[in-house]
Structure 1
């Protein structure tokens, strides 16, 4: 076992949040090591400014700019604009929040009344009392491609990535010591962005109960009559609010993973442990999705064509009670930074989350109000 002291900062977790943190640190001329501890999954994610909270919409302004910058640096397309349909009962609190925040922040938006909706989206059922709006800036992020791109730029700036070297111990102090199966590292600061494994790491020397790990079934659906919906090229992403009997939203997007199918999921799953997700057999979310598709998306088969449930494909989410992120210094150790609890909607924020965590690790004050993301709120 060797003793390494060559890095200013070590980041545990090479998903999109950790990789963008490493990217920004390398841009600040910091010697940075990125340790893989389980990374972001899947080919596609939704990117949008439509949110129920102003602070997320504000962050997305810079996110779009930084995603475009990465596209230019890596010379690769990472985004396809489709718009996102936000649909729900007109008197639904969440729907009104979306509508007012988009207007207040001057996000390009279309309001679709019943007649226009049926003309433009005849394959989608608009129930009595429902309204719809379209955030026209939204679209699809090519997630795996984006992760590879940011890591490639990080390495071109001198950053180092190590796979499969799991951290087994963290010793806080003025210099943080991180021990893996093969190395002992001492560094000025440590950033934990380990996704579902973050609780395990944070429990090594201090008690935390900030997040719950859940597994969702990622489902893909096909048309009843192939080619009638033009799923892959014309349909927007969507968020459906206010479905009777459902506590959480439904969402969908065109699928790169399975051409000709549509990716539709429920925004919550079953509690699990990250290393036991392949043993999870709960299909409650699949049942809810089948009911949703039968009522709202009449052109699709009511049962999914593909359900991703194998461990390497399962979507494990780290969820906080309020579904807001944790972006903070450790309460007792200022040089240990925590990025966690992204609750199934954090991928699109990767560029700004990475910038915030970078600044925290450098002892600087981020430009965003981080009060919604403080760990002590939990």
Structure 2
């Protein structure tokens, strides 16, 4: 088989890149090691920056997002038994975020790809990129007991943190930066109305908590837990009791509880691999970087990588220029590191660290107190939360 761009991974990054390329007349094939049903079962983030939402519109898959997504003009930070609102819309000159689950984004992109007849190979085993440091790269995979080979011009590695794309790059050619956090997020989904109209981030002596949502009838809640905590030890009753302890009294009393339909623990890490290009192999999304979920940047960073990579590939095929491809890694990483900084700051400000002691807790309190006494500080928070410009 021959294609112009071989894409490894059918998460949001791979699907969005493929959809944009196809609509621009650039041939591509997506290879995914899991089944379509498994990809759709992944529970992930749900806060979209305006730039990400605009890209989904550009890809022709934004109609359901616009109809069902929940525009949010702000969010609350809770501490000292009070909720303090961050007015994103006012602080950023009219910008907002859109609450719309990543599973729904993936579903819309899959449907869009089906509608234009673009090819995705699910359950492609032993995917391997070859020759990406030459002019003739290719990708091989196994399917139905046979080995297949796709010749291509470029390979896009959109296959996540544990994927083969980054692992295929010679170790000495990459520099990696990582911080592992000593806690995780225990999250549940329940078909109960959200406790507030917007997200609530809580700093509490017992640990961080987040009240989020997927719709007006489905809620997504999280509490900080130790890194070695086991999800089996958390009954629904224990979870509801714990999150209510970490919220202001009035918010806890207003919370509706119910049976969870999903429960899991996610570890937290910050990670960046540099560069994001090696020859004709380009990394995008979690294959190149991971952020803690505190700042809602994971999916949005993947979309920004796709913005730069798609523009560069279109420039290559339409204008016959390699300038965008040559600048891809530097452009993408400049935005990645700013998002890493913001996510680290949000995580450091809102979570309890085992070694921080009372001094660290007082610093957190001073930081939060200062935020709501300084419009400049709040503007910094708001500008980063709604998303920095491409």
Question: Which TM bucket (shorter chain)?
Answer: 0.5 to 0.7
Match of 2:336 in 1: 373
CA 162–23 in structure 1, closer or farther in 2 if over 3 Å, else same: same
Q: 1:46 — aligned with what?
A: 46
- In the alignment, the residues of structure 2 paired with residue 89 and residue 280 of structure 1 have an alpha-carbon distance, to the nearest angstrom, of 26
- Of 351, 357, 365 in structure 1, the residue corresponding to residue 309 of structure 2 is 357
* 2:52 corresponds to 1:63: yes
Q: Which of 19, 34, 37 is the equivalent residue of 1:23?
A: 19
Match of 1:219 in 2: 188
14-23 vs 341-350, which deviates more? 341-350
Q: Is the 8 A contact 1:11 1:192 kept in 2?
A: yes
- In structure 1, the gaps of 5 or more residues are 49-59, 109-136, 224-230, 273-278
8 Å contact kept, 1:221–1:301: no
Instruction: Find the aligned partners of 1:201 and 1:9 in 2 and give their Cα distance.
Output: 14
Residue 123 of structure 2 is aligned to residue 164 of structure 1 = yes
CA RMSD of aligned residues (A): 4.6
CA distance in 2, matches of 1:318, 1:14: 23
Distance 1:154 1:262, change over 3 A: closer
Q: Match of 1:107?
A: 94
Q: Secondary structure at the match of 2:199?
A: strand
| 1:178 partnered with 2:139 | yes
Where does the alignment leave 5 or more consecutive residues of structure 2 unmatched? 317-321, 342-390
User: 2-side partners of 1:86 and 1:75: how far apart?
Assistant: 27
Paired with 1:358 and 1:10, the residues of 2 have a C-alpha distance of 13
C-alpha distance in 1 between matches for 2:91 and 2:273: 26
Note if 1:187 corresponds to 2:152: yes
Structure 1 partner of 2:262:
308
* 1:75–1:286 distance in 2 versus 1, CA, 3 Å: closer
Residue matched to 2:105: 146
Q: Do the aligned partners of residues 350 and 372 (structure 1) sit closer, same or farther apart at CA in structure 2, a change above 3 Å counting? A: closer
Determine the C-alpha separation between the residues in 2 that align with 1:251 and 1:82: 14
Distance in structure 2 (CA, Å) of the matches to 1:158 and 1:177: 22
Query: Deviation at 1:249?
Result: 5.6
* 1:239–1:250 Cα contact (<8 Å) kept: yes
SS at match of 1:291: helix
Q: Which has the higher contact order (CA 8 A, sep 6+)?
A: 1
Cα distance in 2 for residues equivalent to 1:160 and 1:327? 30
- What is the TM-score of this pair, normalised by structure 1? 0.61
Instruction: For 1:317-336, list aligned pairs within 5 A.
Output: 319-321=269-271, 329-330=276-277, 332-336=278-282
> What is the CA–CA distance in structure 2 between the aligned matches of 1:197 and 1:285, rounded to whole Å?
31
Deviation at 1:269, TM superposition (A): 7.8
Question: What is the TM-score normalised by the length of structure 2?
Answer: 0.60
C-alpha separation between the residues in 1 aligned to 2:32 and 2:24?
21
Change (3 A) 1:62 1:336: closer
User: Is the CA contact 2:133–2:279 (under 8 Å) kept in the aligned structure 1?
Assistant: yes
Q: 1:75 to 1:305 in 2, by over 3 A?
A: closer
1:298 to partner: Cα distance: 2.4
Question: 1:86-142: per-residue Cα shift (whole Å, max 9, x none)?
Answer: 22349x9xx89x66x76552136xxxxxxxxxxxxxxxxxxxxxxxxxxxx444315
User: Would you say the 8 A contact 1:47–1:139 is kept in 2?
Assistant: yes
Q: Does 1:294 align with 2:245?
A: yes
* Structure-2 change in CA distance of 1:252 and 1:14 (3 Å): same
> How far apart in 2 are the matches of 1:188 and 1:269?
46
Question: Does the CA-based 8 Å contact 1:34-1:161 persist in structure 2?
Answer: yes
CA distance in 2, matches of 1:334, 1:268: 41
User: Closer, same or farther in 2 for the Cα pair 1:271/1:289, shift >3 Å?
Assistant: same
Question: How many Å apart are 1:164 and its aligned residue?
Answer: 0.4
C-alpha separation between the residues in 2 aligned to 1:37 and 1:271? 29
2: CA distance, partners of 1:104 / 1:268: 32
Name the counterpart of 1:81.
71
